[in-house]
Amino acid sequence: MTPVLFELPLPGGVTLPIPVYGVFLALGFLLATTLAAGRARGLGVEPLKLFDSGFLAVVSGLFGAHLLDRVVVALGPRVSWGGPGSPTLEASASLLRPWEGGLAYYGGLAGGAVVLIVAARRNGVAPLALLDLVAPVSALALGVTRVGCFLNGCCFGRPSALPWAVSYPPGSPAQLQHAALGWVGVGQASLPVHPSQLYEAVAGLVLFALLWARYRRRRFVGEIVYSFLAAYAVWRFASQFLRADGVVRAPGAWLPLDPHQLLSVGVLLVALVGLWARGRRAENGPALAARRSPLAPGSR
């Protein structure tokens, strides 16, 4: 666990701590935008404009991710893995305290997508065509950023006896949770837990490789972004059972699912409907999306 990667010396004898999560977030952004810029001219988008839009999308995505986290936690107390009988670790959040809390990935996707859709329309590009380009590198950025989560200690998994399970030191989020539950002493390391961050890092990199290879052979505009959403929704629904970094349940909730799983179900349904609708539309028009301009009226 390395929450601070290094400290940057500043004038006056003070130092600026550089968080490891921020470094990997920036690295993921740079890798993603560099790769996407190489294919941007195919859509008639200048690479520098893509960098600008990408930066604004990251800022908007961080805002959306934090906002969704606050909304989700406001639904009820944040409790540990273990079910409704577990001790409460965080009271219901207030949206009036935006500086508290973390980030929820689906909020980041929504916030970033809004900026990219606006940018696409301003540049005369079909929004789905631009989202097709960005979807694979978004999976890459996710994979890189989750390595930062692992080093930061957030997004940790449930206790596990598997040989690759990891223990976090005293003061880490996992250790504080386990100490609150009485599983470990105050000064002891956490129980071994699933490295759920690394699971998602691998999933993101695999998804990037598959979608990046598929991009030039896509059958219709929208196939890549809807495939990304469908695949990630399935992954997130399943992997959420292994995560223990805080499960939010509304009082009296009857579903054995947390809000992120419910969101995954909704995202999956939207993605499947999108794939079906765009596929049907492509069958009635040009056979391959590559044979028509991304600016064609039917591609919006």
Residues with Cβ within 8 Å of 270's Cβ and at least 6 positions away in sequence, in order, are: 229
**pLDDT at residue 255, rounded to an integer:** 54
Per-residue b or e along 169-189, where b marks 16 or more CB atoms closer than 10 Å to that residue's CB? eeebbbbbbbbebeebeeeeb
pLDDT of residue 298: 37
Judged on CB neighbours under 10 Å (0-12, 13-18, 19+), 85 is: exposed
At 66, the amino acid letter reads H
The parent domain of residue 283 ranges over 14-158+165-295
Q: How many whole angstroms separate alpha carbon 63 and alpha carbon 203?
A: 24
Q: What is the pLDDT tens value at each position of the chain, 300 positions in all? A: 677 777 777 787 778 788 888 899 999 999 999 998 888 877 777 777 888 888 889 889 888 888 887 777 666 555 444 433 344 444 444 444 444 557 788 888 999 999 999 988 888 888 999 999 999 999 999 999 999 999 988 889 999 999 999 999 998 888 888 888 788 888 899 999 999 999 999 999 999 999 999 998 999 999 999 999 999 999 999 998 888 876 544 444 445 677 888 899 999 999 999 999 998 887 766 544 434 444 443 333
pLDDT reported for residue 75: 62
- Give the tokens for residue 102: 């973390």
Measured distance CA(260)–CA(234) in Å, rounded: 11
Residue-level pLDDT at 239: 92
90 in a structural domain: yes
User: Does some domain include residue 1?
Assistant: no
Which of 152, 183, 204 is CA-nearest to residue 80? 183
Does residue 9 lie within any of the structural domains?
no
**What are the b/e assignments for 13-31, b being 16+ CB within 10 Å?**
eeeeeeebbebbbeebbeb
Examine residue 231 and state whether it is found in any structural domain, yes or no: yes
Based on the structure, what is the number of domains in the chain? 1
Give a yes or no: residue 5 inside a domain. Answer: no
Please indicate, yes or no, if residue 4 is contained in any of the structural domains: no
Four-CA torsion 14, 19, 22, 24, nearest 10 degrees: 130
Token match 């950023």: residue?
145
Q: What is the pLDDT of residue 201?
A: 96
What integer pLDDT is reported at residue 85 of this predicted model? 39
For 84, 118, 234, 236, the CA distances from 75, given in Å and listed in that order, are 14, 31, 23, 20
* Side-chain half-sphere CA neighbours of 13 within 13 A: 0
- CB-based contact 80:89 (threshold 8 Å): yes
Determine, yes or no, domain membership for 2: no
Structural domain contains residue 210: yes
Q: How many helices (H) and strands (E) does the chain have?
A: 8, 5
Please state, in angstroms and rounded to a whole number, the distance separating the CA atoms of residues 207 and 217. Answer: 16
Q: Supply the DSSP symbol for 166.
A: B
Alpha-carbon span 249 to 72, nearest angstrom? 9
